[in-house]
Amino acid sequence: MVDGWLDLMRNVINEITPAEAAAMQTDGVMLIDVREPDEHALGLPKNALAVPRAELEKNPSAYIFNVDQKVLLICASGARSIVAAEKLATLGYRKLFNVLGGFQRWSAEHLPLEDNGLDPDFNERYARHLRLPQIGIDGQRKLEQAHVALIGAGGLGSPAAYYLTAAGIGNITIIDNDVVDKSNLQRQILHTEASIGTPKVDSAATAMHALNPRVKILTQQQRLNADNVRSIIADADVVIDGSDNFPTRYLLNDACVDLAKPLVYAAVQRFSGQMSVFDAGRYRGSAPCYRCLFPEAPSDEDAPNCAEAGVLGVLPGVMGLLQATEAIKIILGIGQTLSGRLLQFDALAMRFSELRIPVDKECPCCGISKP
């Protein structure tokens, strides 16, 4: 029985290269692309018929009118199309051709493609995002139109900036008044030995442009203060707090609440880090702000900064990467953010833990009694 089935498959299914398939197309042979719609949106072989595999297998006669008709089948790599061919063979179709290597090989060999309206750099650079149903073309375009304000180009800001740039966030504002010091290089990966003594915002912009020249970077070499904070974050869709002091955190929190901007917070010290999303400005009464968690700043003795207490070099990398993740999710409107939750990371134990952050109804910044 098995041998008979194998003989059937060998007799009716032929495996051919993409170049051979393209040549057969010129003779009028139909090419059916059995990938999913989100994959079809990324590009199609020229003159291919886009029919998802399940749809083709359910009703093949709607697309193939004769069991003796020659049919070319292609998917991403050749795996799904051979399964589709086997199903069609059991239904009586006798002249089936599976394209080896699928659309990936078709594209690599520069065979003709349908115009999908995407510029080649966008299509290639963000190819792995475009294949995610939760992102796709529309989501990637949303990322490219987004604006993120990044406060600090140091330990937290470095990994956040790198991954936001790589992800295709179209507009990034970086604010930092410091210059690169050799002691920064142990954790602030945007900067190099050659950039010591230069403004961090300039060093950051150079590294980010080298990674993704599509991104527009606005630099602000100044300290965040009450006079400039609102103008700096006014056009941002998301604000990332990569600062290292409490006055800046409170200042930034209050401005984000007033301007209804989601704030992605993180802090690190020695071997531990914590982060959350504060979105009280958009969800007053249901989402907490930074002051709900820390009504008052601790003393300098209780909360020394990294220069005083030290920090494991990779720790801000972990937390900054998670900040970039939350920012991307917020822009795309996918998943569940850390709003209302404090994520804590212990690098020595390699353990994450989580605490709920309740809304403080009497919070002087976001409480329900506030206008």
Burial of 6 (0-12, 13-18, 19+ CB in 10 A): exposed
| Catalytic position from the list 306, 363, 365, 366 | 306
Residue 346, strand partner residues: 272, 351
SS3 110: coil
Residue 190, strand partner residues: none
**The 147-151 sheet, strands edge to edge:** 216-220, 171-175, 147-151, 238-241, 263-269, 272-278, 341-346, 351-356
Q: For residues 176 and 188, give the distance between their C-alpha atoms in angstroms, rounded to a whole number.
A: 13
| Structure token pair of residue 198 | 């230069």
Q: For residues 38 and 41, give the distance between their C-alpha atoms in angstroms, rounded to a whole number.
A: 5
Q: Are 34 and 117 in contact (CB under 8 A)?
A: no
| Structure token pair of residue 211 | 């990674």
Among residues 69, 83, 126, 81, the alpha carbon closest in space to that of 106 is found at 81
Q: How many CB atoms are located within 10 Å of the residue 65 CB?
A: 9
Q: For residues 267 and 36, give the distance between their C-alpha atoms in angstroms, rounded to a whole number.
A: 42
SS3 159: helix
Q: Are 144 and 215 in contact (CB under 8 A)?
A: no
Q: Would residue 306 show up in a list of annotated catalytic residues for this protein?
A: yes
Q: Are 64 and 12 in contact (CB under 8 A)?
A: no
Residue 219, strand partner residues: 174
* Contacting residues for 201 by C-beta, under 8 A, at least 6 apart: 153, 174, 175, 176, 219, 220, 221
Q: Are 71 and 88 in contact (CB under 8 A)?
A: yes
In the numeric block, the tokens 């998802």 are attached to 52
Q: Supply the residues annotated as catalytic.
A: 306
